[in-house]
């Protein structure tokens, strides 16, 4: 790897002496009991960071900033185009709200180690409730608002929360989502019964009651005592977050307190370049890992202002919504998914709405959550005129595995199609099927040599055995990411897609990501998906689905011919891509990921149910006739 002074120095230290490196970073947070041991690796699959330290995450995210002079600084800004309102909390006001809601939970019997399940929309109360749990040492379990009752019931049975905190409703641009009815049905389906349900009434659809254990949020807050922070062991769990799209028993990722706080505080400055007092916006949802890490914890641990947005990239009211929010609140850097940028580009291909807003404060756009295709990267870079930084990570890791860190000097400029280089603490390797590291340029399974750095998952809730089986059993001494790709000669990582998205065409393994990159480069294509479908002769063949940009003028047959030729010239005839359909939209999860597994299953003739994570079920249903195989 070419010498890269500051980055190379920190990266080498983090791998050569992980205990020494992270021990120095422990000074980024305040401890009740300073750890004397940085890493306990006595159980290699279950390393524990700062095992003899004690601290409180809420104190580090809120109280210490009030104490140290940031009481009047804005901590949380709420922007809700669906209600046409904005509001804000200073650090002092946030401290008061959190301390009193912790009092509400304590009065309901919640103590350190108890679980509290949160089913809330994108409102400030979601942040307050998460921090209140952390203040008590309780373990929060946030379930994405809008999950159907059976999925919510499964999480209730798995986490066994003492208290459920729910809103009466959620709001979409064109409809009200009745959270109360979903929670009521989930409680009926669950075998475990929580002791209390705290209900946040929203004026758009107040509820008359969810269960006989109801407690009204605002009434309880009016009489709630102030509760101080409870120090906990650094290794005690902070939260459980269930990965999206699970079937059967939910898969709950467990995050600790101490390692999580150190890693996120480090990443906010070093990876994202955000300093105390600046405004940061992660345009995600608190129900996903981006929301946990970069709406709530990282910016507040860093003394920044975090923005919580109850809206969409388009339709609230138009494709200029993101630029309006960034300009109005003087956002220094923002984070969203490539899907959001593709949706904006589709509605405003010439970026005319960008120029309508003063984005002089915005110095970087971070994109993650799915593969960033080169075309979207180039569009955003060209029209925003700022660094567009891809970063790659997972619910399980909690913070970026790879990025081009704005707070570290010495990394070469980003390369389209790559989330850049491994971050300190992540020893990223590309392995062959038998676990041998592959040379640069050869595609294989992306894995991370153990131990994982602070902030990564401890285990899966209630199942160490499942954690070892799902993540650690494929390659000895490695965490398996489930993604495939390659490294280039300079150590840049290219993530080409999930390993189960590799297409095997007559014995030739082809990455869907490589094929999608070719389709996405066409000037008429807004977004695309490639899936492998069954073929009686070749085993599998690729099939493409593309969504056109607004105003694109090209006949479907002409487009298909041009795309097939591009794939043939770029990937080779072995790709055997012969069918590409133009569709109105692609089915996605609420976090913006395309449901390729569902598309592939339908195309193979399976009776595939609509996933609970889907954003718009009608999109998938409209594609069924097109995808379903024709009977012989």
Residue 135 lies in a domain: yes
| pLDDT tens-digit series, residues 130-167 | 999 999 999 999 998 867 888 899 999 999 999 999 99
Domain match, 142 and 243 both: yes
Residue 96 lies in a domain: yes
Domain match, 423 and 457 both: yes
Domain count, the chain: 2
Domain match, 546 and 450 both: no
Question: How far is residue 477 from each of residues 46, 119, 163, measured CA to CA in Å?
Answer: 12, 37, 39
Which of 456, 485, 514 terminates a domain? The answer is 485
Domain match, 106 and 42 both: yes
Range of the structural domain that residue 535 is part of: 506-627
Question: If residue 417 lies in a helix (H) or strand (E), which one and from where to where?
Answer: none
Residue 321 lies in a domain: no
Domain match, 185 and 107 both: yes
Query: Does residue 509 carry a pLDDT above 70?
Result: no
Whichever domain contains 552, its CATH number is 3.30.300.30
The DSSP letter of residue 625 is H
Domain match, 535 and 413 both: no
Residue 239 lies in a domain: yes
Domain match, 81 and 52 both: yes
Q: What b/e string do you get for 318-340 counting C-beta neighbours within 10 Å, with b at 16 or more?
A: ebbbbbbbbbebebbbbbbbbbb
| pLDDT tens-digit series, residues 353-383 | 999 999 999 999 999 987 787 888 999 999 9
Q: What percent of the chain has pLDDT over 70?
A: 95
Domain match, 175 and 296 both: yes
Residue 377 lies in a domain: no
| pLDDT tens-digit series, residues 598-610 | 888 888 888 778 7
Q: Are strands 279-282 and 333-336 parallel, antiparallel or unpaired?
A: parallel
- How many CA atoms, within 13 angstroms, populate the side-chain half-sphere of residue 582? 17
Residue 571 lies in a domain: yes
pLDDT of residue 600: 86
Q: Are strands 163-167 and 115-119 parallel, antiparallel or unpaired?
A: parallel
Q: Are 66 and 103 in contact (CB under 8 A)?
A: no
Query: Does residue 506 carry a pLDDT above 60?
Result: no
> Between 322 and 575, where is the model more confident?
322
Which of 433, 453, 485 terminates a domain? The answer is 485
Domain match, 267 and 125 both: yes
pLDDT of residue 247: 42
Residue 375 lies in a domain: no
Residue 327 lies in a domain: no
Domain match, 537 and 573 both: yes
Question: How far is residue 610 from each of residues 513, 625, 627, measured CA to CA in Å?
Answer: 24, 15, 15
Residues in the chain, overall count: 632
Domain match, 414 and 522 both: no
Domain match, 39 and 180 both: yes
């Amino acid at each position: 790897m070419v010498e890269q002074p500051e980055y190379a120095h920190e990266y080498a230290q983090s791998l050569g002496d992980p205990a020494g490196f992270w021990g120095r970073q422990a000074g980024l947070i305040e401890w009740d009991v300073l750890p004397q041991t940085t890493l306990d690796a006595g159980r290699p699959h279950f390393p524990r960071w700062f095992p003899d330290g004690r601290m409180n995450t809420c104190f580090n995210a809120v109280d210490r900033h009030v104490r140290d002079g940031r009481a009047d600084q804005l901590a949380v800004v709420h922007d809700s185009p669906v209600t046409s309102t904005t509001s804000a909390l200073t650090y002092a006001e946030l401290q008061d709200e959190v301390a009193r809601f912790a009092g509400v939970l304590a009065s309901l019997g919640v103590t350190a180690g108890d679980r509290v399940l949160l089913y809330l929309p994108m409102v400030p109360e979601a942040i307050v409730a998460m921090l209140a749990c952390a203040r008590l040492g309780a373990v929060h379990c946030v379930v994405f608002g809008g999950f159907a009752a059976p999925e919510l019931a499964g999480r209730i049975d798995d986490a066994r929360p003492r208290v459920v905190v729910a809103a009466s409703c959620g709001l979409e641009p064109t409809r009200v989502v009745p959270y109360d009815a979903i929670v009521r049905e989930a409680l009926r389906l669950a075998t475990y019964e929580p002791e209390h349900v705290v209900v946040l009434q929203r004026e758009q659809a107040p509820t008359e009651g969810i269960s006989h254990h109801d407690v009204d949020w605002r009434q309880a807050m009016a009489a709630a005592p102030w509760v101080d922070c409870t120090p906990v062991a650094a290794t005690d769990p902070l939260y459980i977050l269930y990965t999206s799209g699970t079937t059967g028993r939910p898969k709950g990722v467990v995050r600790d307190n101490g390692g999580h706080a150190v890693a996120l505080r480090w990443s906010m400055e070093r990876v994202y370049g955000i300093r105390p007092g600046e405004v940061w916006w992660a345009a995600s949802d608190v129900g996903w890992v981006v929301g946990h890490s970069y709406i709530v914890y990282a910016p507040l641990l860093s003394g920044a202002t975090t923005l919580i947005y109850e809206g969409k990239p388009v339709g609230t009211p138009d494709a200029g919504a993101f630029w309006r929010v960034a300009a109005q609140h003087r956002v220094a850097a923002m984070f969203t998914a490539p899907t959001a940028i593709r949706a904006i580009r589709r509605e405003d291909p010439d970026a005319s709405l960008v120029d309508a807003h003063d984005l002089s404060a915005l110095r970087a756009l971070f994109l993650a959550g799915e593969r960033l295709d080169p075309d979207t990267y180039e569009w955003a870079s060209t029209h925003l005129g700022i660094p567009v930084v891809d970063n790659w990570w997972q619910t399980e890791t909690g913070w970026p595995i790879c990025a081009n860190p704005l707070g570290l000097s010495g990394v070469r400029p980003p390369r389209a199609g790559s989330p850049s280089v491994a971050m300190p603490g992540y020893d990223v390797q590309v392995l062959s099927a038998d676990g041998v590291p592959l040379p640069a340029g050869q595609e294989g399974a992306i894995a991370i040599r153990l131990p994982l750095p602070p902030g990564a998952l401890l285990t899966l809730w209630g199942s160490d055995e499942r954690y070892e089986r799902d993540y650690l059993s494929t390659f000895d001494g490695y965490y398996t990411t489930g993604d495939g790709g390659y490294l280039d000669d300079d150590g840049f990582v290219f993530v080409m897609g999930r390993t189960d998205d590799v297409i095997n065409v007559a014995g030739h393994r082809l990455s869907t990501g490589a094929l999608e990159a070719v389709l996405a480069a066409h000037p008429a294509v807004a977004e695309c998906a490639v899936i492998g479908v069954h073929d009686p002769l070749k085993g599998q063949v690729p099939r493409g689905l593309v969504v056109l940009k607004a105003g694109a003028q090209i006949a479907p047959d002409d487009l298909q011919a041009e795309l097939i030729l591009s794939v043939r010239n770029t990937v080779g005839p072995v790709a055997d891509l012969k069918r590409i359909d133009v569709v109105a939209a692609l089915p996605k999860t609420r976090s913006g990921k395309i449901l390729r597994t569902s598309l592939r299953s339908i195309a193979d003739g399976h009776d595939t149910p609509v996933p609970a994570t889907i954003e718009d079920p009608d999109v998938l249903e409209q594609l069924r006739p097109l995808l379903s195989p024709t009977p012989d």
